Amino acid sequence: MQQSNIEPVVICNELPAKAGRIGHLLLNRPQVLNALSTDVVELISNALTKWQQDPEILAVIIQGVGDRAFCAGGDLKQLYYAGVTKYEQALPFFKLEYQLNLLIHRFTKPYIALIHGITMGGGLGISVHGSHIVAAADLQLAMPESAIGFYPDVGGTYFLSHLPDYMGMYMGLTGNTISISDALFCGLVKYCVPRDNFDALIQELCNADLQTNLQQAINATIQKFATNVTTPSTMQQKLNTIKNCFAKNSVTAILTALQQDGSPWALQQLAVLQSRSPTSLMVIQHQLTIGANMDIAACMTLELNLTRAMIQRHDIYEGVRAALIDKTRDPHWSPADLAAISSLEIQKIFEIKCQL
């Protein structure tokens, strides 16, 4: 029989460590920026479930192959080509993905995400729910779903709404890409480690005494490789504008506040929001408002229902077409105006019809 030369989409290993082993997950789809697929999600889920029960596994490390990205998110092209009439075929993937996000959030052992480059959407779902988020200086982090007629899922309801000073609302609504400086400032990343030192950090973790005070030992080991980031944080510099404008209780009020602020940066954010899906903006504003008072399990159930509703609508297919298929960056949203969307229509999108 001819041996297959197909590389696994996730390389799962167990690294020898003092008094045990460290689980190691390596996303291995660099040709598509390590985008998530059903196979990728299932392999990670199965490995974590096994390692959670194995007393010899002390911690888990996840990272991505390739120079460009840790993980660019889910592969939404498949959803686009299936079309809205077959939306139900996409739901099993989303359900598996959200179950994995919840598994990582609840994982009782240290989960160390070594992220770099493009880390967006689903890439945050398999990193920021962990206990230790380490990023390289080239980080490009975003929840860009408002630009494609969707909303920040993979637990974004929880982790964005729990960021201080409405920074999560700013990120969710604009979909802007943030730097390592911003990610450290808002708390989505805990350490900056040069990517060239990732391998040395992993080896040091394997050599460390993790039997005594496991969390403290991992923190101390990462700290050995951590570097200070001197590039100013845009979010820190613009924090007063973010707090003043994105704290408003409606999308319309946020747009008005940005207009009244009048600064070049505020007007730039206004232009960004005016280019986004109006339906997505209204969904996201409500999602992150209520998410601040929900636990992670409730957030994930909400997201499964939001996704079910959103993938039956025009905007996500138009958004994916404009951003990923034709790459024309000219989406034609429907409805095209906030005033055309009723609060009742938004309420229906938030109806709970299925459980995670």
Q: 10-349 in CATH: which number?
A: 3.90.226.10
Q: How confident is the model at residue 85 (pLDDT cuts 50, 70, 90)?
A: confident
Question: How many Cβ atoms are within 10 Å of 261's Cβ, its own excluded?
Answer: 17
Instruction: Locate the DSSP E strands across the chain.
Output: 10-17, 20-27, 57-64, 69-71, 111-115, 118-120, 132-135, 140-142, 191-192
Q: How confident is the model at residue 4 (pLDDT cuts 50, 70, 90)?
A: low
In the annotation, is 74 catalytic? yes
In the annotation, is 204 catalytic? no
The one catalytic residue in 97, 145, 182, 318 is: 145
Give the predicted TM-score (pTM) of the model. Answer: 0.95
Inter-residue contact 12 to 63 (CB < 8 Å): no
CA quadruple 221, 222, 223, 226: dihedral positive or negative?
positive
Is it true that the peptide bond before 335 is cis, omega within 30 degrees of 0?
A: yes
Q: Worst-scoring range by mean pLDDT, 82-96, 121-135, 149-163, 240-254?
A: 82-96
- How far is residue 15's CA from residue 224's CA, in Å, rounded to a whole number? 20
pLDDT tens digits along 102-117: 999 999 999 999 999 9
What are the residue ranges spanned by the domains of the chain?
A: 10-349
Q: How confident is the model at residue 76 (pLDDT cuts 50, 70, 90)?
A: confident
pLDDT tens digits along 30-67: 999 999 999 999 999 999 999 999 999 999 999 999 99
The yes-or-no verdict on residue 2 having pLDDT over 50 is no
Residues whose CB is less than 8 angstroms from the CB of residue 302 and which lie 6 or more positions away in sequence, other chains included:
157, 287, 290, 291, 294, 350, 352
Instruction: Locate the DSSP E strands across 226-356.
Output: none
In the annotation, is 168 catalytic? no
The one catalytic residue in 74, 123, 291, 319 is: 74
User: What phi and psi, each to the nearest 5 degrees, are found at residue 121?
Assistant: 50, -120
The one catalytic residue in 23, 122, 125, 168 is: 122
The one catalytic residue in 64, 97, 117, 153 is: 153
Q: How confident is the model at residue 3 (pLDDT cuts 50, 70, 90)?
A: very low
User: What phi and psi, each to the nearest 5 degrees, are found at residue 59?
Assistant: -160, 170
In the annotation, is 122 catalytic? yes
Tell me the C-alpha to C-alpha distance, in Å, between residue 294 and each of 1, 163, 189.
Answer: 54, 14, 22
